[in-house]
Amino acid sequence: MTAFRPIPRLRGRVEYRKTGSNTLWGFEDWSITRGADGLRVMAAHCEMTLTGGDGAHQNVVRDSVLSVHPDFHPHDAFVRIMREGAVTGTGWFRFTDSEATCESWTRDEGRVSQSIPIERPIRGFGIHAVQGDGWLASTFPYHKGVGHRQFFGRNLLHSVHHLGATGPMITTSGSGLDYVGRETITVPAGTFDCHHVAFVGLTNAHPPYDMWVSGDGDFLYVRGVVSGYMDSTFELAELSREHGS
């Protein structure tokens, strides 16, 4: 009988704080494993309480699982959303070289079945966990140097809500990335050599957003700064590496 061997795992926590007051308004606990088939699998639990741009108070709990191929093309995903303590939607997503499908239920829309054509590789699939945002920057051509801009006309994500609090179902938005450069930054979890990118051309009225992701090929989300009504800083507060034995 073959002995059980745990899969090596990365674990992290990202804290969401108001930039001016340092008030904690949310957090995200995530883990990443890599299976024998090469798929990276991320599980993220997010809890948030924030006053939105319309002044409305929002309490959101979101659980997500996303797996990606070695080139970060998505394989499948699951998203479950709670608002104000009640489940408002759950959804399962599957991606091939040519098709994205969704089977979900939402409190507002009921049962939802979707299938849309895609061409591999797509940029990724937005699950609104900020570590997922880091993976959205994984296929950017950093070798083209500082100042390079790449626009993505049809990004797939489960919700265009800024906290990912609607759906889940396949929706699309447009955005791009500007490469600001390579920077070494220090956050509570440590010091990291990072790629600094800025989101541009956001079509869902998202406030300006800068992001720093690790330059080691894992594209860990190290820091994010969002201005506008969110006025928030997102930082990697904890990081651990668990090795299989």
Dist. CA 46–CA 128, nearest whole Å: 9
Dist. CA 116–CA 10, nearest whole Å: 33
Dist. CA 198–CA 108, nearest whole Å: 34
pTM above 0.75, yes or no: yes
Dist. CA 86–CA 107, nearest whole Å: 10
Query: Which amino acid would we find at residue 136?
Result: L
Tokens describing residue 80: 């479950």
C-beta of residue 76 within 8 angstroms of C-beta of residue 100? no
- pLDDT for residue 173: 86
Nearest to 212 by CA among 131, 117, 116, 139: 131
Dist. CA 132–CA 126, nearest whole Å: 6
Dist. CA 53–CA 48, nearest whole Å: 15
Tokens describing residue 229: 């009504």
C-beta of residue 241 within 8 angstroms of C-beta of residue 10? yes
Using the structure block, give the residue that is written with the tokens 């541009």.
Answer: 200
Query: Which amino acid would we find at residue 20?
Result: G
- pLDDT for residue 1: 60
pLDDT in tens, the chain (245 residues): 667 677 889 999 999 999 989 999 999 999 999 988 999 999 999 999 987 655 567 899 999 999 999 999 999 999 999 999 999 999 999 999 999 999 999 999 999 999 999 988 888 999 999 999 999 999 999 999 999 999 887 889 999 998 999 999 999 988 889 999 999 999 999 999 999 999 997 777 888 999 999 999 999 999 999 999 899 999 999 999 887 64
Dist. CA 222–CA 225, nearest whole Å: 11
Query: Which amino acid would we find at residue 135?
Result: W
- pLDDT for residue 54: 58
**End-to-end CA separation in angstroms for the chain:** 16
